[in-house]
Amino acid sequence: MKIAILDDYQDAVRKLNCFEMLADHEVKIFNNTVRGLGQLASRLAEVEALVLIRERTHITSQLLGKLPHLRMISQTGRVSTHIDLDACTERGIAVLEGAGSPIAPAELTWALIMAAQRRIPQYVANLKQGAWQQSGLKTSAMPPNFGLGQVLRGQTLGIWGYGKIGRLVAGYGKAFGMNVLVWGREHSLEAARADGHATAESREAFFEQADVLSLHLRLHDDTRGIVKLDDLLRMKPTSLLVNTSRAELLEENALVSALARNRPGMVAIDVYESEPILQGYSLLRMENVICTPHIGYVERESYELYFGAAFKNILAFDAGDLSSVANPEALNQGRVRR
């Protein structure tokens, strides 16, 4: 079988233990991302099985129309809106859903919170330039001694979205002596209360009270642009906003506009509207913004889990096991390519 793996930026996949599962197949790994439809179609023209690394490449109806040999798409982790599922079904292409874990993204979220609140990236960068104990965060627009940073104990940790990741982050906050405050849909609020956490009286109060506010929502039509500029402007000038979920949760241009008004005071993000981001990306130039290159799930154990499941699903589907297929309508209509 001809298999392609896209967007392996660090050339890590071939070094995973689980890669041995594909030893009997012809596998091509692409380390760089291409955006052009023609370039991508050329890469995948002969491919029968395509492995996607999360949402790094979008699979559109136009692209699928140029891939006559494609039988299956194996997703690392959950299937999301980056795949045109209806178009796959219409063309008889099976989409295989993989496994994931909340641990790595939750730990990265906490690492960003710790790093931002103690100004670690800023201190490190300035130390490399010969400046001792200088965070650089001391403009006249910032609160007094903002550059010193502060401890987490006694601070309010706001969590919007109490799913698997949000629940873990809330637990970390509690362990560090923070006051956890949850906002979200009613079922999330009920789950948070059952775990002993406080819930916000209103959306406005949630943004006003949080010292650290972390977003843990899935992206879909109802959550796209759900965080508005007015929400951000309610945050304290000393507060921190963390987003390791999806950039599109924020209203377009809202974050840059809010930062221009010094609310929130700090931002730590791991996700962007278009990836990879370019060197001139506006938030990269801001001293009070920490940017990481979408590494929430990028670590060895997660890679073994994600890719192991993706490879297993390919082999199982090829052997007639359809249990991982996310678009069963294609199966019911007898249109899946075999």
Give the active site residues.
Answer: 246, 275, 294
Distance CA 235, CA 337 (A): 52
Say whether 49 sits in a helix, a strand or coil: strand
Distance CA 219, CA 80 (A): 8
Q: Give the burial class of 10: count Cβ atoms within 10 A of its Cβ; 0-12 exposed, 13-18 middle, 19 or more buried.
A: exposed
Residue with tokens 């993204």: 105
Say whether 97 sits in a helix, a strand or coil: coil
Distance CA 54, CA 88 (A): 17
Residues forming a β-bridge with 94: 72
CA distances from 2 to 49, 167, 235, 280, 334 (A): 6, 40, 51, 38, 23
Determine contact, residues 94/73, Cβ cutoff 8 Å: yes
Residue with tokens 């996700």: 271
Question: What's the half-sphere exposure (Cβ side, CA atoms, 13 Å) at 76?
Answer: 23
Rg (CA), the chain: 22
Which token pair is 44?
Answer: 């995948």
Determine contact, residues 214/269, Cβ cutoff 8 Å: no
CB proximity list for 101: less than 8 A, separation 6 or greater: 301, 302, 305
Determine contact, residues 275/294, Cβ cutoff 8 Å: yes
Distance CA 47, CA 27 (A): 9
Determine contact, residues 45/55, Cβ cutoff 8 Å: no
